[in-house]
Structure 1
Amino acid sequence: MESIPRIGFVELHDLDRTPAVLRTLHTESIVTIYRLTDAAREYSRPLALALRSGADHRIVDLCSGSGGPLPLVQRRLHREGVHTRVTLTDLVPNVLAFRRAADRNRRRLPGSCCSLDHVTSSVDATDCRLEGTRTIYGAFHHFPPPLAARILQNAVDTRQPIVVVDTKRSLPYVLLFPFFLMLAVLLAAPFQRNPLPRYLLRLALTYVVPVLPFMMFFDSVVSFLRMYGRGELRRLVDGLAGTESFTWTIGVEPGFTGAQYLIGIPRPR
């Protein structure tokens, strides 16, 4: 699919008219799928590569949604002897989900070698002032090229490393993965932890009126069509002011989730 241009459709959970609770249920389902697919196995490798290349071990995760895969990635890196201090952020932060992710990691990562906290106020990925290695997991395709370029330009202007990880663009993923994700939503709904009213709402929107499975199927198809190919990522990077002050690496990690990545590391002055 590298030869097919990115198609700028809109996902249902991105629409302003989508109720906030439905958006939260959807992003929580995505976090569950990250756990079911062990996405951290492949998603951790680009970040590990960036850290070995000199990136800051303070991690500022942008567009964290309901926590995203980064808490899982942090635990995976910890098992491999790589210790990080992670801060979750979002334009519309889901503070309760961030707190739950922090509690889980606190139980699984004893001692002070790793930490997971969050910012309760809005953080704009195109104008971030927090210091540390920026990460964007599974969200970069949501940004049209002008905004995607602004995110990368902000990293260059502030001289902060950046790691962007998304699913690989490939025809088998477009044809097969949405069905798997819809099935995962159907199977996992009873086991997701939510306050009772939202838990009952999740069950109703999964089995009585199957809004959540449909939303996952539709948005996953659209997501794959919106993914940036490696050539498109290279053109974004080449168009940045001061791009030569960074070392850029674009590649794909093989595996079930097929993580495609873009890594930018500031060069020594």
Structure 2
Amino acid sequence: MAPFLPRMHLFEIDDQTWFPSFLRARVQAALTLAWTTHVPILQRSSPAHLVAKLLYSNLKTTVRDYVFIDFCAGGGGPTPSIEKHLNAALGCSPAPSPAAPVPNGVSASSSPSPPHPSYAAVAAAEAPVRFVLTDLHPHVDDWEKAAALSPNVTFEAGSVDAAHAPAELVGRYKAEGKKVFRLFNLAFHHFDDPLAKAILKNTVETSDGFGIFELQDRNLLGFLTCCLFGLGVLVLAPYYALVWRSPATLFFTYLVPILPFVLVFDGWMSALRTRTPDEVEALLRSCGAAGGDAELARWEVRSGRESFMWPVGSLNWIICVRR
């Protein structure tokens, strides 16, 4: 369905500094569940699993050439789940979790050089894909938990601005011979046009690909999906209040229903802020990246929509890579 309204850059409650951090954590946890939950019969797969399949199918044999950096990871979001599904698709068995997370740029150990170059080639072909969590406002406590569960997930403890990615961050992986692929999971709609252009400019100048993945549409089905999500919160709140050991979750769901209200309201605002692939490509082509039109012509934009729950749940995706 084509958008029935022009894009509107309205505000979301969860973005506001006055919104209590406890409630923001519960909202972000609910959004992570929306990404990672797979209900048999109702859903083909979780949205995070779909993202892994899309990365695998679009990048094909080059997928291991990349390090995937989530530039708006929040509390972790779907990225740890995407890592698990993508490496499973590549046939990489989960390695034992480290005793403690190893910060980026620090090697836990070094191995002797293999006796023959072909061994190195084989090792590279079988190596798991790595993912890095970053954000302008780091959630180190949450990221440490994610990193402890998988040696293929690391994080940047300092603040990272997607419009001005630290040269050391990108250069670290370039020095290893890796390409950098930026992830924006349920995030790109938060940027107004000037900021979105600045982020795309920095991406073109320093990275080799990016992916934009959204769970909402700027159409009637998108608004209906948000309403159903709010109903799901009302149904599942007792279970997650028990899992989170948080009786306050019940209070702010039923007695003072802030959580379902914010999730539905912000979902509607997100839908109005979401860009179509054509709108993203227009920003890309006019972002003013170094190299001008010749450089931008090297970037190929692919996009689509994948259903994860009929008839309303859809993952909208844009994957762009340098040829």
Normalising by the residue count of structure 2, what TM-score does the alignment of the two structures yield?
0.72
Pair 1:81-2:128 in alignment: no
Shift of 1:50: 4.5
Shift of 1:239: 0.9
Q: Deviations over 1:47-105 (max 9, x none)?
A: 224432745431111111111111111122122116311111111122222223334x4
What is the rounded CA distance, in whole Å, between the counterparts of 1:16 and 1:237 in structure 2? 30
Residues 167 and 227, structure 1, Cα contact 8 Å, conserved in 2: no
* 1:147 maps to amino acid: L
- Picking from 214, 217, 220, the partner of 1:166 is 214
2:317 maps to which residue?
Answer: 261
Cα pair distance change 1:50/1:127, threshold 3 Å: farther
Structure 2 counterpart SS, 1:122: coil
Q: Which sits farther off after the overlay, 2-11 or 168-177? A: 168-177
Q: Deviations over 1:202-239 (max 9, x none)?
A: 22211221110111010111111111012211211221
Cα pair distance change 1:69/1:260, threshold 3 Å: same
What is the rounded CA distance, in whole Å, between the counterparts of 2:270 and 2:216 in structure 1? 11
Pair 1:238-2:238 in alignment: no
Q: Deviations over 1:227-264 (max 9, x none)?
A: 10122112112213332232222333344342222222
Q: How large is the RMSD of aligned CA atoms in angstroms? A: 2.2
What is the rounded CA distance, in whole Å, between the counterparts of 1:188 and 1:65 in structure 2? 22
In structure 2, the gaps of 5 or more residues are 39-45, 92-127, 171-179
Structure 2 counterpart SS, 1:258: strand
Shift of 1:170: 5.1
Residues 168 and 252, structure 1, Cα contact 8 Å, conserved in 2: no
Name the larger-Rg structure.
2
Shift of 1:3: 5.4
Q: Deviations over 1:146-194 (max 9, x none)?
A: 1111111111111332111113525343332112211222233333343
2:3 maps to which residue?
Answer: 2
2:152 maps to which residue?
Answer: 115
Pair 1:18-2:19 in alignment: yes
2:265 maps to which residue?
Answer: 218
What is the rounded CA distance, in whole Å, between the counterparts of 1:27 and 1:252 in structure 2? 23
Shift of 1:141: 0.5
Structure 1 counterpart SS, 2:297: helix
What is the rounded CA distance, in whole Å, between the counterparts of 2:158 and 2:282 in structure 1? 32
Residues 237 and 250, structure 2, Cα contact 8 Å, conserved in 1: yes
1:91 maps to which residue?
Answer: 136
1:139 maps to which residue?
Answer: 187
What is the rounded CA distance, in whole Å, between the counterparts of 1:65 and 1:159 in structure 2? 21
Residues 33 and 184, structure 1, Cα contact 8 Å, conserved in 2: no
* 1:152 maps to amino acid: L
Residues 41 and 73, structure 1, Cα contact 8 Å, conserved in 2: yes
Q: Which sits farther off after the overlay, 214-223 or 166-175? A: 166-175
User: Number of aligned pairs?
Assistant: 256
Counterparts of 1:146-157 in structure 2, within 5 Å, are 146-157=194-205
In structure 1, the gaps of 5 or more residues are 107-113
What is the rounded CA distance, in whole Å, between the counterparts of 1:53 and 1:127 in structure 2? 30
Cα pair distance change 1:250/1:53, threshold 3 Å: farther
Residues 61 and 89, structure 1, Cα contact 8 Å, conserved in 2: yes
What is the rounded CA distance, in whole Å, between the counterparts of 1:116 and 1:187 in structure 2? 32
* Identity between Structure 1 and Structure 2 (%): 29
Shift of 1:11: 0.7
What is the rounded CA distance, in whole Å, between the counterparts of 1:100 and 1:33 in structure 2? 19
Shift of 1:23: 1.4
Structure 1 counterpart SS, 2:135: coil
Cα pair distance change 1:41/1:148, threshold 3 Å: same
